[in-house]
Amino acid sequence: MSKPRAVVLVSGGMDSCVTAAIANLEYNPAFLHINYGQRTERRELKAFRALADHFGIGKRLIAELTHLNKIGGSSLTDKNIRITKADPEKLFQAVKNEIPTSYVPFRNANILSVAVSWAEVIGAQKIFIGAVEEDSSGYPDCRKEFYDAFNTMIDLGTKPETKITIVTPVIDLKKSDIVIRGKELKAPFELTWSCYRNEDIACGICDSCALRLHAFQIAGMEDPIPYLIRPKYN
Amino acid sequence: MSKPRAVVLVSGGMDSCVTAAIANLEYNPAFLHINYGQRTERRELKAFRALADHFGIGKRLIAELTHLNKIGGSSLTDKNIRITKADPEKLFQAVKNEIPTSYVPFRNANILSVAVSWAEVIGAQKIFIGAVEEDSSGYPDCRKEFYDAFNTMIDLGTKPETKITIVTPVIDLKKSDIVIRGKELKAPFELTWSCYRNEDIACGICDSCALRLHAFQIAGMEDPIPYLIRPKYN
């Protein structure tokens, strides 16, 4: 019997790479990528394509949410807000009520809405997203309660016969456990991209690089992508 | 004291026109329009601009959701699905479980997500949308329960200090009552556009024209826009 269809949100980072590897075990994935004017849009798209090729994905959709860039309000999309050097003390302590400057207002609801529209048309019943609550450093739209509320809203806003659920397989994992899970599944970390700052060689010092390097170090595994500098994060 | 800021979703049709007139009573409106590859995109945008000028709106955003067109699944965006001539018997009896071909999968969630992102950045606490449940002919994303669930999801997916609520001031009104309310508020119906089929003179026979003409006839008011043919709908 053929595997059921699922939509997988693939930014091109390590969390979405491992999420895709998990989805791939039981589903026939369709890959969705979102351009929203993030600083490293071009580089993320390259990672998305490499991952889709790796997993042999025929059904792909790239959606342009240019309004998120027009609206601004985030250091990820607004070039007037600077990307700061990671402050490890703050970063690894998950200050729950402090929203980082990289928060893109209501981004995940925009992204998931695209996924639901697509899923309804192609007949997918699951949407996989690699949101992480534990180490998310305070994004409100990465919390389990948010996804539960989103699922209720989907149920009420789609056709009666449509049954679509958001699945968050890594939401409870620490980032280091995601590395370990990815290793077990032979997830192609070498194809992924996480850096907020550069597009050629990862900087090693922005929040995203710091979280990633920290996770690989705890997992006792070498991160296979090159870095400009590769600090030890403890 | 200056009026608080609100985002108003303005498609350019009669429901959003009256909704804008209602919002304008107590709020300082910012107008949001969505292009999503709907057949009459150009004509709706013209209506949006005329309405924004009429209400003296400085803050305007036009967002492009081109993926809804790529995804398809609706006669509004997919030119392979034909717009049919209205069948009055079906149309005015609100067949609740039958979804019309003009349903755009999960469209309103996509649109509202844009509105929430914008509202969070510009500091608006209300988002007005002219959804109509009574005469909506079965769109699942026009029901009150959907908006209630959406409000819960907003609360969980935005910053703790953000308080944004979707407001649906005409959701319980019959379309003819919307005409009457609009007349009381001197809403500029002459600037609006509803037809699914044409861009110059409204056809008078698609579902959207039929619902509109029917509503004006019940309200005992002449619809001020020109029609190719203007049937009597009883």
With 0-12 CB in 10 A as exposed, 13-18 as middle and 19+ as buried, what is B185? Answer: middle
Give the nearest partner residue to B71 out of A117, A146, A160, using CB atoms: A117
Is residue B223, in this structure, part of any structural domain at all? Answer: no
Instruction: Give the pairing of strands B28-35 and B60-64.
Output: parallel
Is residue A101, in this structure, part of any structural domain at all? Answer: yes
Alpha helices in A73-227 (DSSP H): 88-91, 107-122, 144-157, 175-184, 207-219
Cβ–Cβ gap B116/A108 under 8 Å: no
* Residue A210 belongs to domain with CATH number: 3.40.50.620
Residue B20 backbone zone (phi > 0: left; psi -120 to 50: alpha; other: beta)? alpha
Reported pTM: 0.91
With 0-12 CB in 10 A as exposed, 13-18 as middle and 19+ as buried, what is A147? Answer: buried
Residue of A nearest to B71 (CA): A118
Please identify which residue in the block is written with the tokens 């053929």: A2
The reported pLDDT for the residue numbered B37 is 85
Contact residues on chain B for A152, CB-CB shorter than 8 A: 149, 152-153
B208: tokens are 């959207």
Range of the domain at B161: 5-78+103-193
DSSP states along B150-214: HHHHHHHHS-TT---EEE-TTTTS-HHHHHHHHHHTT--GGG----SS-SSSB-S-BHHHHHHHH
Give the nearest partner residue to A159 out of B66, B99, B155, using CB atoms: B99
Tens of pLDDT, residue by residue over B148-161, are: 999 999 999 988 88
Element (H, E) at A205: none
Interface predicted TM-score (ipTM)? 0.89
Output the CA–CA distances (angstroms, integers) from residue A140 to A94, B126, B155, in the order listed.
12, 20, 9
Confidence of residue B72 (pLDDT cuts 50, 70, 90): confident
The reported pLDDT for the residue numbered A176 is 96
- Work out the mean pLDDT of chain A and round it to a whole number: 90
Q: How many domains does chain A have?
A: 1
Residue A82 backbone zone (phi > 0: left; psi -120 to 50: alpha; other: beta)? beta
Is residue B200, in this structure, part of any structural domain at all? Answer: no
Cβ–Cβ gap A153/B154 under 8 Å: no
Is B178's pLDDT higher than 90?
yes
Tens of pLDDT, residue by residue over B81-128, are: 677 787 777 776 655 556 777 778 899 999 999 999 999 999 999 999
Residue type, A207: D
A165: β partners? A126
Confidence of residue A92 (pLDDT cuts 50, 70, 90): low
Is B28's pLDDT higher than 90?
yes
Cα dihedral across residues A184, A190, A196, A197: positive or negative: positive
Rounded average pLDDT over A217-225: 96
Instruction: Write out the residues of chain A at the interface with chain B, using a CB-CB cutoff of 8 A.
Output: 61, 63-68, 70-73, 97, 99, 103-110, 113-114, 116-118, 120-121, 140-141, 143, 145-146, 149-150, 152-160
Inter-chain contacts counted by CB atoms under 8 A, chains A and B: 140
Least confident of A80-94, A120-134, B100-114: A80-94
Cβ–Cβ gap B105/A158 under 8 Å: yes
Is B181's pLDDT higher than 90?
yes
Residue A32 and residue A115: Cα distance in Å, rounded?
A: 7
| % of chain B at pLDDT higher than 70 | 93
Please identify which residue in the block is written with the tokens 């969390």: A15
Cβ–Cβ gap A140/B152 under 8 Å: no
A105 with A73: CB under 8 angstroms? yes
Confidence of residue A93 (pLDDT cuts 50, 70, 90): low
Instruction: Write out the residues of chain B at the interface with chain A, using a CB-CB cutoff of 8 A.
Output: 61, 63-68, 70-73, 97, 99, 103-110, 113-114, 116-118, 120-121, 140-141, 143, 145-146, 149-150, 152-160
